C-alpha cells in the first residue's frame, strides 16, 4: 500500500509540473504570440508533439482524479 501511494504521489507531481508548463506555454502564446515549446524543439518536431501529448495526458489524469475524489465517477 505504501509503495502504491508513493507512485501516485510521484504521478501527481509529474502531472502538476506538466500542467504548469502547459499553462505557461498557453499564457505566453496568448500574451506575446510566441510558442516557446515549438521555438525550442521545432514546430514540427516529434519531441514537441510528445511534450504536447504528455501535457494533454496530464490534464486528463488530473480531471479524472478530480471527479474520482469528488465521488462522481466509480
Structural domain spans, the chain:
2-70
Residues contacting 23, CB < 8 A, separation 6+: none
pTM for the predicted model, two decimal places: 0.79
Per-residue confidence in pLDDT tens, the chain, 74 aa = 344 577 788 888 999 999 999 999 999 999 999 999 999 999 889 999 999 999 999 999 999 888 888 876 55
Interior angle at CA 43, CA 41 and CA 46, nearest 5: 65
Residue 7, classed as helix, strand or coil, is helix
Residue labelled with grid coordinates 504521478: 11
pLDDT of residue 3: 46
Amino acid at each position: 500500500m505504501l509503495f502504491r501511494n508513493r507512485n501516485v504521489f510521484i504521478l501527481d507531481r509529474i502531472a502538476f509540473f506538466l500542467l504548469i508548463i502547459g499553462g505557461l506555454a498557453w499564457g505566453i502564446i496568448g500574451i506575446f504570440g510566441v510558442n516557446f515549446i515549438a521555438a525550442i524543439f521545432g514546430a514540427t518536431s516529434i519531441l514537441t508533439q510528445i511534450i504536447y501529448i504528455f501535457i494533454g495526458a496530464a490534464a486528463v489524469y488530473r480531471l479524472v482524479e478530480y471527479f474520482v475524489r469528488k465521488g462522481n465517477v466509480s
